[in-house]
Amino acid sequence: MDSQIYKAIVNAIPDMIIRISRDGVFQSFEGATAELYWPAEAYLGKHLDDVLPAETASLFARKIKAAFRTGEVQYLEYSLRFNGLRRHYESRMIRSRQDEALAIVRNVTREKEVTAELRRYHEDLETLVRERTDELSRAETSYRSIFHHSGSPSIIVDHDFTIAMANSKFEELTGFTRDQIEGRMKWIEFIAAHDRDKVTHYHYTRRTAEGEVPSEYECQITDRLGNTRDIFIKVGMLPEPGRAIASLIDITSLKQTEKDLREREALYSAILEGYEGMLYFISDDYRIKFMNENLVRAIGRDAVGEICYEALHNRSSKCPWCVSDQVFEGETVSFEIRNPHDKKWYFSVNVPIQMADGTTYCQAMIRDIDQRKQMEEALRDSEAHLRQENLRLRSTIKQRNKFGDIVGASDAMQEIYELMLMAAASDANIILYGESGTGKELVASAIHNMSERREANFVPVNCGAIPEALLEREFFGHKKGAFTGATEDKLGYLDEANGGTLFLDEIGEIKPDLQVKLLRAIEGGGYTPIGSNEVRKPDFRIIAATSRNLTAMVQEGRMRSDFFYRVHVIPVHLPPLRQRKEDIPLLVEHFLKAYDRRIRPVIGDHVRKALHDHDWPGNVRELQNVLYRFVTLKRLDLTGETIGEEGVGEKRMPSEDAAPPAEIPTQDLAAAVCAYEKQIISRALARCRWNRTHTARALGVGLRTLQRKMKAYGIN
């Protein structure tokens, strides 16, 4: 709890907290000490008989004895005369320690005055009702005058609830005129809906001999404008059969005051009980004046009154790290310390607290930071390793216009490269945001290949392409015989990614039910393949990708917040191609290298300008497809416009489907096979948009085989 909150609580508490020794000597005063006749210093160390009237001192002494004898809370009321005026107090007294009692004192003068005023109202109403009843029994004309000149709202109600008479004060209270009320409106119409059953019961029971009902009660009424008022009612029966007179007092403001007081007390209680950590106060003689429950539990006892270094640190002298002298001079001091008892690290904030009587206490607030310190120590131990890893990662970038299979020299891509380097050096989960076609899978693969998991599998999963009924089977695998058609054991994506990286493309397509099971596996709880009792706990890192707004999905309930925060550790936002058009020439050159030199066109200025001016809603994937059509058809199709041969350079190459030249190759068979294989791989990569995993599947070879051949043929 910081000093501002504590001061606010102390200043707002309406009570005065007094500590009294068992033999009746005042020890301390806290809280509303303004209620004291003299300054608190005048009471400290004095006996009850020395500073209180004899009767009050005797009452306190009896209650102290009772508190120590029974161990129960003792209640007492007393009054004192201040400057000729009498103040009333209520006190709750309890034994707080072996030789000390704690008295919580509240000034209830206002409540007493309100009660007395209400009692006078009651007495006046009773007198008024008696007078009116007597007068009305003698003659209606007599009580009409008194009734209408009453100082409080009053009505006469018939057996059927009809209001026979209403005075001017009742007009003011309700907003209706007497002409509108008398003989036309019923009393029950004014009663709030939740009180009508009670008022109806009282009304009819009062007119029979079958039961007794209170002559005074509270309820709520509604005025002409729909405002609700709290009312105190005094009811008396008149001599006329079935008639009653009711006088009302508007107690709305009183009720609101009571509500405000209850809410304030509840707020104070919530603040105190909700504080986490250990807190205590000491005086300038190092004695503990207050301990919160967390500290009491931590040391195993209530040590209020004891010397702080003895009780808390088991020392015989002042602690070497003590900062109380600085605090008592007005400074706020914070520091970290390792507790000599439990060997754990704590963060201590020490604040001077000025009490109302001028006394200064040192407030110490202590928070457990042991886990953070352990993490810091682990980070320091791995710092050298991280530096070496960072150098290794950076050394793999041979040129700044390319990162693995990712092409781009723009400032936006330089930032992405740096983020990829930092992400590769970490083992935290990553989320890639980007429009369709921005190369999210290429980025994920590059991060995997740069990380310590590069020797294990990179397992890409398109979450939107798997039927919902098969999602659990695909992720967790199944055992032979688990269902019809399960003829053999099958590993799921999580097993395949063990030790490596699981790439979840379009993660927003995963339903909340599966998110729960994935979350358990991510957090180390493991999972069970379909048809198996074995719990598996693979080690994998998640790199997720999406083109959706996942935060909005969490707010709409379509994605679990705990699942979102588990995968949303390192966010990377890939820029669309329209925001890095300076990279288009590099991308064009990169994609055209995939084609045989004999069919590769030369890009003219007309085509180059058209490529630059296009917005590329499909991003890099759209550019790759456009270039594929351009190589094949020798024309550029963009947004309905076709750029023909005038956009192609002077050098004309035969089309992809043209017959090979008739000359006899000069190379041997092995070289010719290699050249042909390189051409086949290049074309397959182009068709699969340079997705190596998809290309390997299309060619019917393993991913590692494809990567080895690409390296051998210099395809990059």
Residues 606-640: pLDDT tens digits?
888 888 888 898 899 888 888 888 887 777 777 55
- pLDDT band, very low/low/confident/very high, at 137 (cuts 50, 70, 90): low
502 to 181, 319, 423, 463, 507: CA distances (angstroms): 79, 53, 15, 12, 11
Q: Are residues 391 and 484 in the same domain?
A: yes
Among 39-53, 134-148, 546-560, 571-585, the least confident range: 134-148
Among 65-74, 101-110, 463-472, 611-620, the least confident range: 463-472
Q: Check which CATH number belongs to the domain holding 462 and give it.
A: 3.40.50.300
pLDDT at 701: 81
212, two tokens = 């007794």
pLDDT at 142: 52
pLDDT at 459: 92
> Residue range 511-531: average pLDDT?
85
- pLDDT band, very low/low/confident/very high, at 568 (cuts 50, 70, 90): confident
Q: Are residues 443 and 360 in the same domain?
A: no
Q: Are residues 293 and 319 in the same domain?
A: yes
For the cut 60, the answer to whether the pLDDT of residue 396 exceeds it is no
pLDDT at 175: 92
pLDDT at 480: 85
> Residue range 72-96: average pLDDT?
88
Name the more confident of 211 and 85.
85
Looking at the structure of the chain, the number of domains it has is 5
Residues 404-427: pLDDT tens digits?
778 888 888 888 888 888 888 888
For the cut 80, the answer to whether the pLDDT of residue 672 exceeds it is no
* Within-domain flag for 591: no
> Residue range 458-469: average pLDDT?
85
* Within-domain flag for 535: yes
The dihedral formed by the CA atoms of 473, 474, 480 and 486, expressed in degrees to the nearest 10: 80
Q: Are residues 293 and 400 in the same domain?
A: no
Residue 330: count of CB within 10 angstroms of its CB = 9
Closest-CA residue to 281 (of 369, 370, 366, 367):
366
pLDDT at 138: 60
Phi and psi at residue 665, to the nearest 5°:
-65, 145
For the cut 90, the answer to whether the pLDDT of residue 38 exceeds it is no
pLDDT at 85: 85
Domain stop point among 317, 351, 373: 373
pLDDT at 683: 81
Print burial letters for 551-570: b (CB count within 10 Å at least 16), e (below 16): eebbeeeebbeebbebbbeb
Q: What is the mean pLDDT of the chain?
A: 83
- pLDDT band, very low/low/confident/very high, at 654 (cuts 50, 70, 90): very low
**What does the alpha-carbon distance between residue 370 and residue 274 come to, in Å, rounded to a whole number?**
21
Closest-CA residue to 454 (of 499, 418, 422):
499
Crossing angle of helices 370-381 and 383-395, rounded to 10°: 50
Domain stop point among 87, 107, 127: 107
Beta-carbon contacts of 29 under 8 Å, excluding residues fewer than 6 positions away, are 16, 17, 18, 36, 40, 43, 44, 357
Residues 336-394: pLDDT tens digits?
888 777 788 888 899 998 887 888 999 888 888 888 888 877 776 666 556 555 645 55
∠ CA 615-621-626, rounded to 5°: 70
Q: Are residues 426 and 474 in the same domain?
A: yes
pLDDT at 374: 83
Q: Are residues 180 and 118 in the same domain?
A: yes
631, two tokens = 């190589």
pLDDT at 112: 83
Portion of the chain with pLDDT greater than 90, in percent? 25
For the cut 90, the answer to whether the pLDDT of residue 307 exceeds it is yes
Q: Are residues 100 and 118 in the same domain?
A: no
Give Cα 590 distance to the centre of its chain: 48
pLDDT at 667: 55
For the cut 60, the answer to whether the pLDDT of residue 174 exceeds it is yes
For the cut 60, the answer to whether the pLDDT of residue 433 exceeds it is yes
Q: Which domain holds residue 357?
A: 277-373
* Within-domain flag for 449: yes
Closest-CA residue to 639 (of 626, 651, 650, 620):
626
Portion of the chain with pLDDT greater than 70, in percent? 87
Q: Are residues 139 and 203 in the same domain?
A: yes
Residues 241-299: pLDDT tens digits?
888 989 999 999 888 888 888 887 777 556 555 667 888 899 999 999 988 888 888 88
Q: Are residues 452 and 494 in the same domain?
A: yes
* Strand stretches in 130-256, DSSP E: 154-157, 163-166, 216-222, 228-237, 244-250
Flag whether the pTM goes above 0.85: no
* Within-domain flag for 649: no
Domain stop point among 575, 602, 635: 575
For the cut 60, the answer to whether the pLDDT of residue 653 exceeds it is no
